[in-house]
Amino acid sequence: MRKNKIKTFDVINTIILCALMLICVYPFIYVIFASFSEPWELTMHRGLLLRPLGFTLEGYKAVFANRQIWSGYFTTLFNLVVGTTINIFLTLLAAYGISRKDLMLRKPLTIMIVFTMFFNSGIIPRFLVVQKLGLFDTRMAMILPTAINVFNLVIMRTAIEGIPSELEEAALLDGANHFTILFKIITPLIKSTLAVLVLYYGVTHWNQWYQALMYVQSRELYPLQLVLREILIGSSTEAMTSGAVDSLGDSFMLGEVIKYATIIVATVPILTIYPMLQKHFVKGVMVGAVKG
Amino acid sequence: MALKKRKVQAVGPPRNSLGGRLRREWHHNKQVYIILLPVVAYFIIFHYIPMLGVQIAFRDYSIAGGIWGSKWVGLKHFKNYFHSYYFGRLIKNTVLLSVFNILLSFPAPIILALLINEVRNAKFKRIVQTVTYLPHFISIVIVCALLRDFFSSTGLINQLLGTNIDFFNKEEWFRPLYILSGIWQEVGWGSIVYLSAITSIDNSLYEAAEADGANRFDKLIHVTLPGIATTISVMFILRVGRVMTVGADKVLLMYNESIYTTADIISTFVYRQGLLNRDYSYTAAVDLVNSLVNCVILVGANKISKKISGSGLW
């Protein structure tokens, strides 16, 4: 009797989890199928898609012909590389500094950093400062105002504090200076934490759009997500369909397919990288959780 | 944050002036301060100068005067805000959205972690984890685009239901869509913390329970749940600490004028009225009230969390 009950539970559990997985991935499957479908057939279709309806690359052609998408990709890549480098560099400096136990100003400096987690000035004063600094509508406006994430700093500090202090003391006795200790001794020892933080900062830059919305005006500086917002939410596929089709109806139908193709073009990089890096991401959560 | 008392340094006489101590400290730790210089500069420029800049909420912003020189008007903007029609609506919308969100989306990852934990096939377990973590990495713009597409009046959901509800233009649908899509995106990722807490439960507890004749459900109720109770309470307190922090970004992607009655929250109002309509002083005041309330709640939550488990935000 009890055996049976447990078996039933296993079956129900498996069903629930399978259903959940389906809900998690089906939207993407639907979008993939829709992006290859003939616009007309897709418009007429009702219900779930179990395969592409016909096959066409029209949507993708329009997406790849769109200069905004390319310039968005470029900006995002720029933010990703330059931004993450700055993030990691500054976070490393900060974490090393406030993990020095013999630093007299360690406590006030730490409080100064932590205080920003509890109170923030709000977006208006920050906007006015960014404007005053002449950063408004520049690439750096998307990078500098969020150069250090305090949560990530906590993770890095925890990693540095986990290194036995004898190592540093020995190096100091050997006459090494702090720059050498930080970059030659500490950095190689916390490589795995660094990798996790590169991923975290990287994903933030990849997904970032609100900061760009506030601080950037020129369309050629828009990062990918802001371009996507225009195309997908402001539904400006009209510009991409014009010239490709004659009638308004055709343009509407093609617009739908372009939307789906855009979603795929914008998510494929992350979908391909994610399974390879999943382990590191998860590890980061653990590091953060251990600290609490 | 356990800050140990600094070791007294052996250099020089024990009692001397602050100036002398600072000079010796500089001599001793010069390089560390140079390393920290860019960090301090960052926090001053992008956090502390804006904090001083909140005084714009007490002035009437003018381009000529800027933050420091515009005319001082005291509490005018705060009074206007408290008496305005928006005050009640913004607070209500922000609190309701956040509270419903916590109530519904907080238990979800715990339940998922418990379900995943009951899976015996290691491979299936891994697949479930990989697949459910995935939506976490999709950008919010894409998530909202998918949501708008599937829930449009002619979209997939309506096709399946055989209806044509205009979800995105109905005020009563805003909160459910916001919350459910949030659960969809974060339930898997959120379960990681609980799964790792479950893994760290002492195995001998399970063995003892088995010896007492406990079945799987008994073990779940009497061993697993108590085993992760601390984690749950810390996560809950920290989540409640952020109850008044509802970011503008997702709402901006979801709302439109016809559903402002439920969807317009403090942060979206500040964005719209402040950055788009350039009503800087008034919205800085609105934001400042929120920041202060936030700060009080967060400090309280952090204190409680530290009391319970010894760890908090910091």
Question: Cβ A47–B159 below 8 Å, yes or no?
Answer: yes
CA distance A125 to B286: 12
**pLDDT tens-place string over residues B9-47:** 445 555 578 888 888 888 888 999 999 999 999 999 999
ipTM of the complex: 0.89
Length of chain B: 314
Alpha helix ranges (H) inside B162-259: 171-199, 203-211, 216-219, 225-227, 229-241, 248-254
**pLDDT tens-place string over residues A7-26:** 888 999 999 999 999 999 99
Question: Cβ B149–A259 below 8 Å, yes or no?
Answer: yes
Q: Which residues of A touch B124 (CB under 8 A)?
A: 14, 17
Q: Which residues of B touch A283 (CB under 8 A)?
A: none
**pLDDT tens-place string over residues A180-198:** 999 999 999 998 889 889 9
CA distance B18 to B15: 10
Q: What is the mean pLDDT of residues B107-125?
A: 94
Would you call A276 an interface residue with chain B, using a CB distance cutoff of 8 Å? no
Candidates B196, B248, B295; nearest CB to A118: B295
**pLDDT tens-place string over residues A54-109:** 898 988 999 999 999 999 999 999 999 999 999 999 999 999 999 998 899 999 99
Q: Which residues of B touch A210 (CB under 8 A)?
A: 247-249, 252
Decide if pLDDT at B4 tops 50. no
